[in-house]
Amino acid sequence: MRNNSVLIFTQLLSNIANTAPKNVISRRKKWFILLIVALQGFLGPLTSSIYVPAIVQVKQSFGASNTSINATISLYVFTMGLSPLLWASLSERHGRRAIYLLSTLLYIIATIGCALTYSVIPFIVLRAFQAIGASAAQAVGAGTITDLFDIHERGNAMGLFLLGPLIGPVVGPIAGGFINELYEWRYIFWFLAIMGGIVFLLMLICLPETSAKILRKREKYKEKGYLDEDDDPQENILKSMARPFQFITKPVVILATTPYSMAYGFMYFVISSLPHQLALHYGFSSYQIGLAFLANGVGNALGALASGKMSDRALGKVVNPENRVPELRLRPMWIGILLLPAGQLIYGWCTQLNIHVMASLSGLFLLGLGVGVVQTPSNTYIVDAYQKHSASVMSAANLLRCISAGCTPLIAPTLIEKIGNGWSMTLLSVLSVMSGICIFFIARYGSKWRQKDLTDP
């Protein structure tokens, strides 16, 4: 008999909540569980951008350089990309619930530290720990969806879950601007700490363990009072942690996630440059700029939810279950591939030519709609393709997305200065159209590639 301390600890954390496999959990409870997980997933993207309107005040408070302050944003985004690799591995070994609770608690502590610190170096470090704590749901949430929902329901579920990464970067500047204007920048982090506390309490009281693997272990532990190697086979921890990196080398994962990673990066390109563009061309105040972000956010939300329903419908139309291949989910992505360049061109040129602001905001809406439509089928597809390791494959996709989102804001100021906003968005629109090549190849050869990946990566 080997050491069962981790199992006992995770079991104790779950005693408050009921545990049950997905076939005995009511539909209403499934969606409530998903809502709680989505709230945790919302914290990370929200925190990435919420204090951007207060950057000047933060810099003055710390007496810091521009480089140091920019590091608090870039480091956060890159850490958000890397951290889920660890959480995914731990969740597949020790269950979902304990990881959600541990990560959210870490987020709360780091956020309180950000509110209390008076030096830029500790602030940078605490921002990194914030990202680590807030990033768990970005990967583990995919595992929860696989646990709870059958394959024909996952597109709709993924659409709701993925609203966080889309809406968070948009809602953040709006909320941060209001809080900073009414109070000061430290209250932004107190607000985030309170949100984290609410999510933690919801998880502690209402979130059950959903991993079938962990539930089976607990049943055996209750029956026998102990677990032996046959009851609890554990793979090498290094192999488990390396799995997400191996997924990145899979053609299925690379091609399925590239269009969304590019679209997400292009969205950050626009978000990072939008305040300057609206102030320069339309004379917008910070309050008006914050409200302008809503055009993109509403488009994101509608696109994510609609494409989730469309991808489920694409599978549901196939009568023979044997023909319900995951590649069918990719069809709605073509709509997003058309909406993205349309939105980019309208926003880019209407802004540069000082055409009425409603025209520019219409372009922002279409751009957001396109990102949302591309996102949900892409992520649901890779989860369906690798159900056994859904958290790991989702963390790999999250890493690619965050790398894209972390790099595009760095090149946005220089590119716009050199060739203008209109031509910059024209270039991005061409790349968006070209990303459709990835969808073509994965739809044509994805099934064959998946057959080669039936064994563990």
Q: End of a domain among 209, 234, 259? A: 234
Same structural domain for residues 275 and 371? yes
Same structural domain for residues 145 and 255? no
Same structural domain for residues 336 and 190? no
Write down the pLDDT at residue 6: 43
Same structural domain for residues 215 and 268? no
Number of domains the chain is built from: 2
Same structural domain for residues 220 and 307? no
Is the pLDDT at 234 greater than 70, yes or no? no
Same structural domain for residues 391 and 310? yes
- What CATH number corresponds to the domain at position 311? 1.20.1250.20
Question: Bigger pLDDT: 186 or 386?
Answer: 186
Is the pLDDT at 103 greater than 80, yes or no? yes
Helices (H), 248-323: 251-282, 286-316
Enclosing domain of residue 449: 242-457
Alpha-carbon gap, residue 435 to 258, rounded angstroms = 7
Full DSSP string of 413-456: HHHHHHHHHHHHHHHHHHHHHHTHHHHHHHHHHHHHHHHHT-S-
Percentage of residues in the chain having pLDDT higher than 70: 86
Is the pLDDT at 17 greater than 60, yes or no? no
Alpha-carbon gap, residue 107 to 111, rounded angstroms = 6
Is the pLDDT at 414 greater than 90, yes or no? no
Average pLDDT of 76-80?
83
Is the pLDDT at 1 greater than 60, yes or no? no
Average pLDDT of 183-211?
91
Average pLDDT of 169-179?
80
pLDDT bucket at 18, cuts 50 / 70 / 90: very low
Same structural domain for residues 437 and 369? yes
Percentage of residues in the chain having pLDDT higher than 90: 26
> Which segment of 26-30, 37-41, 178-182, 286-290 scores lowest on mean pLDDT?
286-290
Write down the pLDDT at residue 15: 43
CB crowding 311-344: b at 16 or more within 10 Å, else e:
bbebbeeeeeeeebebbbbbbbbbbbbbbbbbbb
Residue 202, SS3 per DSSP: helix
- Tell the residue number behind the tokens 């807030």, with chain if given: 134
Write down the pLDDT at residue 333: 92
The pTM assigned to this predicted structure is 0.76
Write down the pLDDT at residue 318: 65
Please report how the helices 27-49 and 120-134 are oriented relative to each other, as an axis angle in degrees rounded to 10: 160
- Whether 441 and 255 have beta carbons less than 8 Å apart is answered as yes
Q: End of a domain among 234, 264, 297? A: 234
Same structural domain for residues 109 and 248? no
* Terminal Cα distance for the chain, rounded: 29
Question: Bigger pLDDT: 162 or 218?
Answer: 162
- Whether 83 and 44 have beta carbons less than 8 Å apart is answered as no
Q: Tens digit of pLDDT for each residue in 431-455? A: 999 999 999 999 888 888 887 765 5
Same structural domain for residues 197 and 343? no
Average pLDDT of 108-130?
93
Q: Tens digit of pLDDT for each residue in 391-403? A: 778 888 888 888 8
Same structural domain for residues 269 and 186? no
Q: End of a domain among 183, 204, 234? A: 234
Q: Tens digit of pLDDT for each residue in 319-332? A: 566 667 888 888 88
Write down the pLDDT at residue 194: 96
Is the pLDDT at 14 greater than 50, yes or no? no
Q: Which structure tokens are listed for 149?
A: 């929902």
- Give the amino acid at 196: G
Write down the pLDDT at residue 13: 40
Same structural domain for residues 48 and 128? yes
Same structural domain for residues 224 and 270? no
Write down the pLDDT at residue 409: 79
- Tell the residue number behind the tokens 């099934």, with chain if given: 447
